[in-house]
Amino acid sequence: MAYDLEFERPLSDIEKQIHGIERKGEKMKAEDRTQVRELRQRLDHRTDEIYRALTPWQRVQVARHKDRPYTHDYIKLMCDDFFELRGDRRHGDDRAILGGIASLDGKTVMILGNQKGRDTKEKVECNFGLAHAEGYRKAQRIMRQAERFHLPVVTLIDISGASPDLEAEQRGIAGAIAENLQVMAVLRTPVLAIVIGEGGSGGALGISVADRILMLEHAIYTVASPEAAASILWRDAAFASSAAEAMKITAPDLLELRLIEEIIPEPRGGAHHDHRAAADAVKAAILRNIGELERLPVEELLEHRYRRYRDIGAYTREPIGAASV
């Protein structure tokens, strides 16, 4: 993967230098090799520097990176076996939400997640990752099946939002999401949600009500896309970066606000620079968290889950702020 984001310009410059030297091939001299080694060290150093100081809006770029591993990539890299469960048994098989029974180091889990397409064909097939009602109903079917067989549920979140189209309304996207919230709240088996890229709005929430929510280091989780928030609150979508900042959508912010439980560190330069390392980290986090959750008796698990959501909210006894009018 090359460095191709705007703020990665210094990194791509270094990369270009490296490639320039390496183009010599057989003709490379000892000092060339030394220079390449030094440039690589500098690249790593600068990458670390830049990624340590990412702004929220830069994180949005990383979370949306076209080469970032998707649910399908994680499943392929993490699972020793996977059988896809398809269809909602009522209308269709939404390719924007994938799920099935999986084996992780011999441990059986139900895994499901949002799928964005990579090439054009795949993008069209899965509606650019915008899930429909039947996707949420398929997810519900898979989760109820997990409950029946006492399998933990792992969900991978990566969606900008549920599909805002006519068909979604006709088939009841709102009701489908709402039902999932209710079903997941009382599902009698551990549920672990991991935001791997974009966690956008109700579309993300519809498969992320969980005992614990983990986020990849550069993932985002937000009530509305920064662009939508900017166009409403700033009356100009160009203020997306301001909205991204103001809404506190990054993993560190949300950990500090205690809205998520854990951050999974990403490989240098983001998950898209090393799918394998990212998948290993996610897999380790899944196995550890599921192991811990499975130790709880189910009634206790459900009481914790209820409290986890019941306690979310920030209020005071007296109104704050003074009217400006």
Contact status: 291 vs a copy of itself (CB under 8 A): no
User: Which of a copy of itself, other proteins, none binds 44 (CB below 5-8 Å, type-dependent)?
Assistant: none
Query: Side chain identity at 50, as an amino acid letter?
Result: I
Of the pair 7, 234, the CB lying nearest other proteins is at 234
User: Which of other proteins, a copy of itself, none binds 273 (CB below 5-8 Å, type-dependent)?
Assistant: none
Q: Which residue has the tokens 């500090």?
A: 256
- Per-residue contact flags (x/-) with a copy of itself for residues 165 to 184, judged by CB under 8 A: -----xxx--xx--------
Q: How far is the CB of 172 from a copy of itself (least distance, A)?
A: 5
Contact status: 207 vs a copy of itself (CB under 8 A): no
Enumerate residues 83-122 that contact a copy of itself by CB under 8 A: 89-91
What is the spatial distance between Cα 166 and Cα 251, in angstroms, rounded to a whole number? Answer: 33
Report residue 183 as tokens: 């079903």
What is the spatial distance between Cα 147 and Cα 184, in angstroms, rounded to a whole number? Answer: 10
Q: Which of 40, 48, 149, 288 binds other proteins (CB under 8 A)?
A: 149
Of the pair 13, 169, the CB lying nearest a copy of itself is at 169
Of 259, 268, 252, give the one whose Cα is nearest residue 309: 259
CA atoms within 13 A on the CB side of 94: 34
Helices 298-310, 173-185: axis angle to 10 degrees equals 130
Of the pair 42, 248, the CB lying nearest other proteins is at 248
Contact region with other proteins (CB under 8 A), list: 31-39, 42-50, 239-247, 271-279:
239-247
Enumerate residues 242-301 that contact other proteins by CB under 8 A: 242-243, 246-249, 254, 257, 259, 294
Sign of CA dihedral 219, 224, 225, 229: negative
| Spacing of C-alpha 64 from chain mean position | 9
Of 155, 150, 76, 70, give the one whose Cα is nearest residue 115: 70
Point out which residues bind a copy of itself (CB under 8 A).
89-91, 133, 137, 170-172, 175-176
